[in-house]
Amino acid sequence: MYQLTDQERQLLNIYQRKLPIEQRPYAAMAEACGMSEQQVIDCLNKWKEDGILSRIGAIVNHQRVGASTLAALAVPEENMEVIAEQVNAYSEVNHNYQREHFFNLWFVLAAPTQERIDEVLAELEETTGLPLLNLPMLKAHHLDLGFPL
């Protein structure tokens, strides 16, 4: 188990919800935590490399600046890795994950237009030859996934 210092805990609490929107956000975070800008950058990079952080970046509301959907494929277990790589080859795929279900490979697509989402889904369905489920968002619900450390 990784032991956080008080400064690191404060940094992660700030990072979860309040990444400063300014020219040097890490410098602002460093000042708030009593660290140097380079220490903040080093901490974030190390945590990313060690798998403590899954990503560093903004979360964009794709419905306001483009289009997105949740989709799934029914993939035979023996083809899972090949199909997952095929899905991941699209820059529009944010992430994908395997689930225990008939539709067992789930992924989120985000693109500038709904037309591009439709193109990617059609290409995946055609090239894989697998049943595809498209579940576009009907209503947004904000879930705060942050938690105090």
Q: Is 15 among the domain residues?
A: yes
Residues 42 and 14 in one domain: yes
Residues 77-134 pLDDT 10s: 999 999 999 999 999 998 889 999 999 999 999 999 999 999 999 999 999 999 999 9
Total of domains in the chain:
2
Supply the mean pLDDT for the chain: 89
pTM score > 0.85 for this model? Answer: no
Q: Which residue reads 């705060």 in tokens?
A: 144
Stretch 126-147: mean pLDDT, rounded? 84
Residues 72 and 43 in one domain: no
Residues 73 and 97 in one domain: yes
Residue 55's pLDDT is what? 73
Q: Is 77 among the domain residues?
A: yes
Residue 15's pLDDT is what? 79
Residues 45 and 70 in one domain: no
Q: Print the domain residue range for 96.
A: 62-135
Angle at 16 between CA 38 and CA 62, to 5 degrees: 110
- What CATH number is associated with residue 125? 3.30.70.3460
Whether 53 has a pLDDT exceeding 90, the answer reads no
Query: Which amino acid would we find at residue 122?
Result: A
